[in-house]
Amino acid sequence: MSKIKSQNELSKELKLEAAKLGFDPVGIARIPGSERIQLRTDALQRWLNAKHQADMGWMEAPRRKNINTLLDGVTSLLAVGLNYYTSHKQNPGTLSIARYAWGKDYHKTIEKKLKKLGRWLETQRPNCRWKACVDSAPLLDKVWAEEAGIGWIGKNSNLLNKRKGSWILLGHLLCTEPLTPDKPATPRCGQCQACIEACPTNAIVEPFVVSSQKCIAYQTIENRSSKLPNEIVDSIGSWVAGCDICQEICPWNNEIESSSEPEMQPSKWKLELTRAEALSWSDEEWKKKLQGSALKRIKPWMWRRNAEAINNHK
């Protein structure tokens, strides 16, 4: 009969199992967390009160402020990051697509890996209950990732890690098993305001506060209006789906290692999409291209709307 692992041993091995699945960084937080959780929760409420969420009504879900509603009896969580940066370049003169969407749908990729971790945890603690969460869950994912020590929230509201920059997708494994927590991350942005100054629409209205209405990523992905606002059209550049400007300028994103994760490797068409193609493809052609992609949120008519707004090429 094998020896039952201690809390510290189990916590260490769980992180090692996560690393085997390609997650890096990884960290653990305990529920209810430090006082920073309440501070971040209060900041979310101020953001909502200012209507910065625009039409994203799901951000107002009360469950987002109470992790216990996601898993009854939750005591710990494992926060994981998956590097999505690749060294590929988009072709000159093509439309720009945010890097997170170059590969396959990361929600499915991360969830599949987290469920493997959950099943491994069950083999160690048969009575343990767990839940896999990606960013579609009503969870303060960046806040809990910060609490678990895998990165800090930057002035552009992205999570930043010393080694991986902000090119990481987040996932969380909630569980009822007490685990040994890591030290919460220390913010390291200092006086740098590169992201704030680089945003062409001034969407970062103050450090750590992003106004969705002014954000190119929000407007090209979430806005369901038939036309984009004039101020977005004036500054959209070549961005047809999302925007990486505030990440590309960030000093922490210099010299990031290219991801080896197969499902993060880019689809050829996402590096070669022209304005003419975006405007001419039929709904069926678009649906075929978007199969298995996180970009399915952008409906075919929205791709054409976004492309129509783009007059300048790289």
Hey, which residues are catalytic here? 135
Identify residue 120 by its one-letter amino acid code: W
**17 Cβ contact partners less than 8 Å away, ≥ 6 residues apart:** 117, 120
Q: What does the block give as tokens for 157?
A: 């509201």
What is the 8-class DSSP label of residue 194?
A: H
Distances (CA, A) of 202 to 2, 104, 194, 242, 250: 58, 30, 12, 15, 16
- What the block records as the tokens of 277 is 């193609």
Cis peptide before 266 (omega within 30 of 0): no
The residue written with tokens 């603690």 in the block is 125
Q: How far apart are the first and last CA of the chain?
A: 64
29-53 in b/e form (b: 16+ CB < 10 A) is bbbebeeebeebeeebeebeeeebb
Distance CA 281, CA 275 (A): 10
* Segment (H or E) for 209: strand 209-210
Q: Is 36 helix (H, G, I), strand (E, B) or coil?
A: helix
